[in-house]
Amino acid sequence: MKRMSLFVLFLFFTGFLFGQSFNHVTVIDTSFDNGSLGGWGPRGSVQQGLERVELDTSVKRSGAASMRISNRTKTWQGPVHKLTDNAVAGDVYSMSAWIYYNEGPAMSPFVLSVQRSFKDTSKAHAYQNITSFQVRRGEWTEIKTEYTVGADPTQASIWVYFELPFKEDHLVTPNDRITFWMDDIKFIKLDPASRPKAELNIPNLADIWAPHFDIGTAVTRDEVDFSSPTAQILMKHFTVLVAGNEQKMESIQPEEGKFDWAPADAIINFGEMTGMRFRWHTLVWHTQNPAWLFQESANSTRTVSRNVLNQRLRTYIQTVMRRYRGRVESYDVVNEVLSDRSGLRTGAEGSRWHEILGPEYIDNAFRWAKEADPTAQLVINDYNLESDTRKRQEMFNLVKGMKERGVPVDAIGIQMHINIRTPSVQQIRETIELFASLGVKVMVTELDISIYTSDTEPIKNVTPALLLEQAQRYKDIFAMLREQSQKGNLADMVVIWGTTDHTSWKNDFPVRGRTDAPLLFDGRYQSKPAFWALVQPTRVQGLR
């Protein structure tokens, strides 16, 4: 009896070790060789114009036939297939497919996306680009990626589809309407035991930089679930957390007087259990606000009065800051208050705060924040301060004036959403030194380094050469930050805007359909050359 059970245990463990007990589920496996499209069909509708999705025996990668997608008139037209009727948070799907085209441009971008429906069927579907990639004309190209289902409890079904990067209908050119073929498509739901795992046997990022500053990252509620691989990365490499969205007003106070702390608290609770420090982003911003905020309570078609909006602002700041007093150390009190053209952002550039309250809302926000938590670090945060010397000077003047008026501002946050080429290290250094000359600290609040140098740069594949260039940039910038910290110019944390590339806000923004790779870890939770450039540069071949 005893021997028997040991034997069973032995089988179990060998199965486990050699990967034989994995229970992958093949969800889609279409080779188009049995005379059927295997569930693939067009995305378009009869009203909007229907693309043709059909079998083609004259073009194929293997077997007897492939699937041809023709007669396309919109970028988003392509083949679609149901992935699941039951979206389960954390499920990982491995996706592989072959794609081919033979007309038009020498290279063409394609995008693999998912569409999610919700239990509340009146809610609009959500679309998400999983990966964008280039295919060479006349060459069957494999696209391979993974997709992890998010933790949204309201979602229902998920579909997958292939398309070209989104463009408004009136901008569509013949290159966006090309016919393409697909073959050998395989989507597999991975057994939980073989989902990609965070790489943990590597140096610790935060430890290495601890002599100079703490290192933080922006997180989502999904990522702070202990079962998420990202949570493992967070615990190992970061000592500061900020919420990517969960601390914004639309999330905290969706309706007047109704505060929803749950999403923000999930992040704070995780951080407190794992010994993190916290930033808050952001108390006042011109976007991601609830609709009621700028409306009269009694009549939503009327704009709120100046008095009432001032009260709402003060109550909001103080409710948040009193709740987290002694727990959140550093607040973006105002975000992006400067114009991209001249002076402060006004109503013309989307600031209803400025439109209704005038410029003094900024001073007031800082004063009210100071009342609520006198020990918190109060930050004014903005973007493009390094690259745009006009904006940089406006920030200098604004903070100089605030200090002269006795407004309690402790630090200037530079977001640093930059790219592999610009701005130069010297431009960033000059910005930090200029701001520090005001007697405030400078904090890097949202660092990421895009692989794209402009909004017009076409989709490119993430090559080793590109990753090396990015690693070099991270290395050079952190060397300069170390020097600035030694001069006493920097705050004691540097915050990166996200952890793994597949969740970066740069996917699908500012260019729709274009995915980016601006962070230190890739979509499989593995360290990138950029990570090694910060912890052990000698490991990256070709780094200067």
240 neighbors 215 (Cβ within 8 angstroms): yes
Closer residue to ligand XIL in complex, CB, 284/304: 284
Residue (91 or 382) nearer to ligand XIL, CB:
382
Provide the 8-state DSSP code for 344.
Answer: B
> Residue 517 Cβ, how far from ligand XIL at the closest point, in Å?
15
CA angle at residue 209 from 204 to 214, to 5 degrees? Answer: 95
Alpha carbons 201 and 98: distance in angstroms, whole number: 34
Catalog residues that contact ligand XIL under the rule CB under 6 A: 244-245, 335, 415, 446, 505
Name the minimum Å distance from CB 151 to ligand XIL.
15
Pair of tokens at residue 18? 């050699």
Provide, rounded to whole angstroms, the least separation between the CB of residue 310 and ligand XIL. 23
HSE at residue 467, side-chain half, CA atoms within 13 A, is: 18
256 is catalytic: no
Burial class (CB in 10 A: 0-12, 13-18, 19+), 165: buried
CB of 513 to ligand XIL, least distance (A): 16
| Contact call for residues 143 and 97 (beta carbons, < 8 A) | yes
When the beta carbons of 195 and 352 are compared against ligand XIL, the nearer one is 352
176, 246, 382, 388: which one is catalytic?
382
183 or 382, CB closer to ligand XIL? 382
Task: Report d(CA 394, CA 390) in Å as an integer.
Answer: 6
Specify the amino acid at residue 461: N
Element (H, E) at 491: strand 490-496
CA dihedral 97, 102, 104, 105 (to 10 degrees): 60
Tokens of 235: 């615990």
Place of tokens 């993974």: 146
Nearest CB to ligand XIL, comparing residues 250 and 483: 250
Compute and round to an integer the Cα radius of gyration of the chain.
26
Between residues 415 and 515, which has the closer beta carbon with respect to ligand XIL? 415
| Residue 222 C-beta: closest distance to ligand XIL, Å | 12
| 382 flagged as catalytic | yes
Q: Which is nearer to ligand XIL, 55 or 215 (CB)?
A: 215
Q: Which is nearer to ligand XIL, 415 or 489 (CB)?
A: 415
Is the distance from CB of 471 to CB of 493 less than 8 angstroms?
no
Q: What six digits make up the tokens of 509?
A: 């923004």
Q: Which residues contact 421 (CB under 8 A, 6 or more apart)?
A: 453
Kind of pairing, strands 126-136 and 107-118? antiparallel
To the nearest whole angstrom, how small is the minimum distance from the Cβ of residue 112 to ligand XIL?
A: 20
Q: How far is the CB of 63 from ligand XIL (least distance, A)?
A: 42
CB 240 to ligand XIL: min, Å: 16
Q: Tell me which H or E stretch contains 320.
A: helix 306-323
What is the nearest approach in angstroms of ligand XIL to the Cβ of residue 218? 6
Catalytic: which of 336, 386, 410, 516? Answer: 336
* Residues paired with 449 in a beta bridge: 418
Query: Residue 417: CB partners within 8 Å, gap ≥ 6?
Result: 383, 446, 447, 448, 450, 497, 506
Q: How many CB atoms lie within 10 A of CB 198?
A: 22
Choosing from 446, 501, 516, 522, the catalytic residue is 446
Could you give the angle at the alpha carbon of 183 between the alpha carbons of 177 and 187, nearest 5°? 105
272 is catalytic: no
| Cα distance between residue 308 and residue 28, in whole Å | 56
Nearest distance in Å: CB 241, ligand XIL = 14
Sign of CA dihedral 450, 453, 455, 457: negative
The helix-helix angle for 361-372 and 389-404 (nearest 10°) equals 60
Token duo for residue 162: 């292939």
Which residue minimizes CB distance to ligand XIL?
505
**Which residues are tagged catalytic?**
336, 382, 446
